[in-house]
Amino acid sequence: MSAAAALPRIAVVGVSSLIGEAVLEELLARKIPCAALHALDDERHIGRPVRAPEEPPADGDAAQEGGAGRVPQVIPVSAFDFSGVDLAIFCGRSALAERYAEAAAAHAWVVDCSTAFRARSGVPLIAADVNGSLLVGQGSRGLVALPGSASVALATALAPLHARAGLLRAEVATYQAVSGSGRGAMEELAAETVAMLSGKKARGRAFGRQIAFNVIPQVDALQADGASLEERRLWEETRRILGLPQLEINATAVRVPVFFGHSLAVHATFERPLTVADASAALQAGAGISLISPDSSSQFPTPATFATAPDKVYVGRVRPDASRDRALNFWVVADNVRKCAAYNAVSVAQILVNNGSVRYS
């Protein structure tokens, strides 16, 4: 078998989305070796080059057409034969995943970033830094769902604290960037900001009301009980990622006029006493976490400063909850598109490849 034949053949579906572009960037940045790299999307995006950072220098097999060292052209997903790939990463849009992912999973491992399969029984829901070990021994093909960005950030921060003191309850308010609603929402924030600074009126189309210079206490549709779909997803996904089906979680999801970077104010209660020093030690040892200590020059993470370095979930302002025993408050920031979505997707793909779950045809 040639060296190229021993490498996985990868398809990225939905490459024109923010997450799709970020996944491709992550594959290139990590120099993931592959025999072929296919960029797929619906017919609206066919033939155009994929937006990606400066391409790495061509060398060896990676420089071949479709290989890891070259940015591919977009081809139609509707005409693609998924029996020709070993791994497919579906990015962002649920409609593409709902239409093509299960058929692709008959031939390959499918890592899905959308909401399409997150709640389906039997489909692993994976945050690589928290429960990636669940993928070991899963077979040679199938579906893996990725949690929402806020859920990834929350579970990543809570996991080492739960391991240290036993998590009983989490109360969280999320302050979510507009990029969570896609490129159109980002363009609207930019346009509204320019309009209002010019003395004009904001259109307020993407979120049903003005987002520039505003805060909206609603992310996704509201349900009959008053909770939003995003809040419900945060409860359910965090419980599954942590393996705590009875965990009490209370959440409010808020949209804020920030381009990238979700922020979370977290109030957590534990079974056992947990000092700030013990919590800090646990967080420093946690996978995928960077703890910002109060005596550092940064003092605490913010989206504008730390979402530009999107390889970690950043935690700061760790302090006791003066109103309750065995409880802590802390602040979390993570890049929702790159760290919590694209980085997670490529990390899950690497786990599948490294543990031998991806079988090359």
How far, in Å, CA of 317 to CA of 265, rounded?
10
**The pLDDT of residue 155 is above 70:** yes
- Domains of the chain are 9-147+341-354 (3.40.50.720), 150-336 (3.30.360.10)
Output the CA–CA distances (angstroms, integers) from residue 94 to 30, 71, 97, 117, in the order listed: 26, 24, 5, 9
Q: Which of 43-47, 117-121, 183-187, 266-270 has the lowest mean pLDDT?
A: 43-47
pLDDT at 168 > cutoff 90: yes
pLDDT at 136: 86
Core vs surface per residue 28-44: b (16+ CB within 10 A) or e: bbeebbbbbbbbbbbee
| The token pair that represents 84 in the structure block | 């020709």
Q: Give the pLDDT confidence of 101-144 residue by residue, as tens digits.
A: 999 999 999 999 999 999 999 999 999 999 999 998 777 899 99
Tens of pLDDT, residue by residue over 307-349, are 777 789 999 999 999 999 999 999 999 999 999 999 999 999 9
Residue 2 pLDDT > 70: no
CB 253 within 8 A of CB 174: yes
Residue 30: what pLDDT? Answer: 87
Cα–chain-centroid distance for residue 243?
19
- The phi, psi pair for 33, rounded to 5°, reads -75, 135
Output the pLDDT for position 45: 63
Distance between alpha carbon 31 and the CA centroid of its chain, in Å?
Answer: 20
Q: Indicate if the pLDDT at residue 303 is higher than 90.
A: yes
Q: Please check the confidence at residue 360 and state whether its pLDDT lies above 60.
A: no
Distance of CA 109 to the CA centre of its chain: 18
Share of the chain above pLDDT 90, in %: 75
Contact yes or no for 315/293 (Cβ under 8 A): no
Q: At a CB cut-off of 8 Å and minimum separation 6, what does 185 contact?
A: 178, 179, 206, 207, 211
**pLDDT above 70: percentage of residues in the chain:** 89
